């Protein structure tokens, strides 16, 4: 009887381990790796060949399973793979000026969650964002830039009157509004987020120091 019980316990543990392994790392562990990677970026101590090898490229040719989705500003000074010291296949990156939410970008994130198994979404704003600054200054926006301004304007309105730097307040408020938008995006992201199958967080990148400050 004791032997049978031990066997059942061992089998249950094996099954649990297999299921956890098949499911991949949790959102919390992925976030922890991004934080560690950013610390390496801040100090310039990047991991050598961190998923940047020919073997990794060959491995990914058969399919991808990026743990994290990064919705980032298109600013050339804020490349997520470098900011978080990640490599091929680690991040599913959607970039647009002002890290705003638009339909094609939202669909891309939904695809990564539904079909690639991504469990963490990071909305990454940054210090001295040009798109947010242009919206803050007002005036007529030419061409399709007007659409960026329209999307960012709610953050300008909501951050009015806050103490501190107006631009930075607007940047952080914009990140928070985008995070809220994603959490409410039906049916995929809202369901996955409310059921705690994915985690959606905000962040702000400091151009001067390289530090990412997290906004949860």
Within-domain flag for 13: no
Count of domains observed in the chain:
1
Within-domain flag for 12: no
Within-domain flag for 15: no
pLDDT at position 11 is: 40
pLDDT at position 5 is: 41
Cβ-in-10-Å burial (0-12, 13-18, 19+) of 151 comes to: buried
Within-domain flag for 5: no
CATH number of the domain enclosing 129: 3.40.1050.10
Residue entry with tokens 């989705």: 69
Within-domain flag for 172: yes
Please spell the DSSP secondary structure of 5-35, one letter per residue. Answer: HHHHHHHHHHHHHHHHHHH-S-HHHHHHHHH
Summarised one tens digit per residue, pLDDT across range 15-30 is 343 344 347 899 999 9
Instruction: Give the integer Cα–Cα distance in Å for 83 and 125.
Output: 12
Please give the residue range of the domain that contains residue 79.
22-215
pLDDT at position 48 is: 94
pTM of the model: 0.88
Per-residue pLDDT of the chain (216 residues; tens, 9 = 90+): 444 443 343 344 333 433 443 478 999 999 999 999 999 999 999 999 899 999 999 999 999 999 999 999 999 999 999 999 999 999 999 999 999 999 999 999 999 999 999 999 999 999 999 999 999 999 889 999 999 999 999 999 999 999 999 999 999 999 999 999 999 999 999 999 999 999 999 999 999 999 999 997
Cis? peptide before 187, omega within 30° of 0 = yes
Which helix (H) or strand (E) segment holds residue 95: the answer is strand 91-95
């Amino acid at each position: 009887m004791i032997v049978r019980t031990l066997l059942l316990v061992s089998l249950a543990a094996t099954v649990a381990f297999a299921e956890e392994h098949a499911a991949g790392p949790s959102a919390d562990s992925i976030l922890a790796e991004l934080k560690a990677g950013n610390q390496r970026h801040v100090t310039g101590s990047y991991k050598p060949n961190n998923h940047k090898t020919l073997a990794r490229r060959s491995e990914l040719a058969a399919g991808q399973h990026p743990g994290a989705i990064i919705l980032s500003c298109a600013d050339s000074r804020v490349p997520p793979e470098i900011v978080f010291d990640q490599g091929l296949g680690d991040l599913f990156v959607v970039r647009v000026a002002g890290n705003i939410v638009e339909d094609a970008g939202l669909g891309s994130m939904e695809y990564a969650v539904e079909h690639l198994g991504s469990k963490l979404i990071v909305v990454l704003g940054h210090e001295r964002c040009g798109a947010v600054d242009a919206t803050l200054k007002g005036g007529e926006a030419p061409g399709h830039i007007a659409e960026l301004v329209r999307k960012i304007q709610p953050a300008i309105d909501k951050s009015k009157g806050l103490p501190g730097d107006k631009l930075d307040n607007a940047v952080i408020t914009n990140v928070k509004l985008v995070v809220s938008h994603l959490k409410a995006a039906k049916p995929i992201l809202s369901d996955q987020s409310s059921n705690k199958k994915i985690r959606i967080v905000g962040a702000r990148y400091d151009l001067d120091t390289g530090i990412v400050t997290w906004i949860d």
